[in-house]
Amino acid sequence: MNTSPKILLVYTGGTIGMIKNFETGALIPFNFDELLLKIPELKQLDCQISTISFDKPIDSSDMDVVRWKELGDIINGTYDMYDGFVVLHGSDTMSYTASAVSFMFENLSKPIIFTGSQLPIGDLRTDAKENLITALQIAALQEKGMPVVTEVGLYFEYKLLRANRTTKVNAEHFEAFQSSNYPALIESGVHLKVNESYLYKVEGNQKMIYHTHFDNRIVIVKMFPGINENILKSIFSSDLLKGIIIETYGAGNTTTQKWFLEVISDLIKKGVAIVNVTQCIGGSVDMGKYDTSVSLKEIGVISGKDITTEAALAKLMYLLGENLSLKVLKTIYETPLRGEMLEN
């Protein structure tokens, strides 16, 4: 009997799974049932690979909460049958989906590794093969029969990063993702270097809980000098709005103009959750550090600390979906749930 780890490879779409139609020159999705035929190197891996594909693979720009659930359902429905999961996903919104999946699976005890590529798998200079092969190796990595990684990771260009700490930063380089506020979990050189102390571990032997409800009645607003009062008020006037993420300057600063603070304060009084995340690629929100953020703290704006915008969005949709009071939501939001932000 083959006792090597069983891995489910899920194809959602994106460049990685495309091949060129040499007649038209267009990229078309590749038939994943033929994966082992097209990449015979996979046979050398010490794991058993099964594949499943979205009925209609998509460019990740078309990802939405319905498809997040479609993906979550595939993993949840086969959770006990596999030792690990690799998700092939377009790189454009991979950090959003992978962050959302990290909130979907509470007390995860198996690896869910996202990967993709900048060039299609059939391309001569493709980065897809290395990304796919090493992502599978990482998903199959075990120590004393237990998976080494028990969180949602994103593998790209020789690094496994905590997925909910990542941002796509480059549309050209093979090194497309960055995790400025958290170190790499695994580095791939001649050997796989596992940075044990950075891996996320759930305390005790807790049962996995699957969450599926994301409330997408939210908006992201980026602060910029000259932001227009009437336009902002008109965006914020929708009664549907349940949450707002404000991408602020530096350590969480915004304009101190009276109209702006009044709008924010009124929205919070109406029960809208407002989260402060920095538009900087690294570092943390620290409301109260500068005079320009003291009022935000006083009126009850939620601190996103060092969270990425991608994870902030997924966390807000997830917590709004849990139907909490604004006070409880604020407390939970400011607490790390899956290693997505610092403790204090």
Which tokens in the block code for residue 304? 């996103």
| 196 neighbors 178 (Cβ within 8 angstroms) | no
Residue 307, token pair as written in the block: 């969270």
* Residues recorded for the chain: 344
Q: How many Å separate Cα 120 from the centre of its chain?
A: 22
Q: By C-beta, is 83 or 92 nearer to ligand ASP? A: 92
Cβ at position 96, least distance to ligand ASP in Å: 11
Tell me the closest approach of the beta carbon of residue 36 to ligand ASP, in angstroms.
22
Q: Which is nearer to ligand ASP, 116 or 252 (CB)?
A: 116
Tokens 């935000």 — which residue?
296
- Which tokens go with 35? 């994966």
Q: Which of 60, 5, 3, 57 is nearest to 30 (CA)?
A: 57
Residue type, 280: C
Q: Which is nearer to ligand ASP, 29 or 321 (CB)?
A: 29
The DSSP letter of residue 279 is S
Q: Can you give the binding site for ligand ASP, defined by CB under 6 A?
A: 13-15, 59-61, 90-92, 116
The one catalytic residue among 12, 15, 134, 167:
15
Shortest distance in whole angstroms from residue 212 CB to ligand ASP: 23
Q: How far is the CB of 126 from ligand ASP (least distance, A)?
A: 12
Nearest position to ligand ASP, beta carbon:
90
Residue for token digits 């966390």? 315
User: What is the rounded CA–CA span in Å between residue 20 and residue 47?
Assistant: 29
Query: Helices 94-104 and 65-77 meet at what angle, rounded to 10?
Result: 50
Classify the C-alpha dihedral 152-339-98-330 as positive or negative.
positive
Pick 60 or 179: Cβ nearer ligand ASP? 60
Phi, psi (degrees; rounded to nearest 5) at 195: -90, 80
Residue in 96, 71, 86, 59 with CA at minimum distance from that of residue 177: 96
Are 164 and 313 in contact by the 8 Å Cβ rule? The answer is no
Other beta carbons less than 10 A from residue 24's beta carbon: 8
Helix (H) or strand (E) holding 67: helix 65-77
From the CB of 254, what's the least distance to ligand ASP, in Å? 31
Question: From the CB of 30, what's the least distance to ligand ASP, in Å?
Answer: 13
> With respect to ligand ASP, which residue has the nearer C-beta, 66 or 190?
66
Amino acid 90 reads G
Residue 15 annotated among the catalytic residues of the structure: yes
Residue 208 C-beta: closest distance to ligand ASP, Å = 28
In the complex with ligand ASP, the residue whose CB is nearer, 59 or 70, is 59
Comparison of 116 and 153: residue with beta carbon closer to ligand ASP: 116
* CA-based R_g, the chain, Å: 21
- Give the active site residues: 15
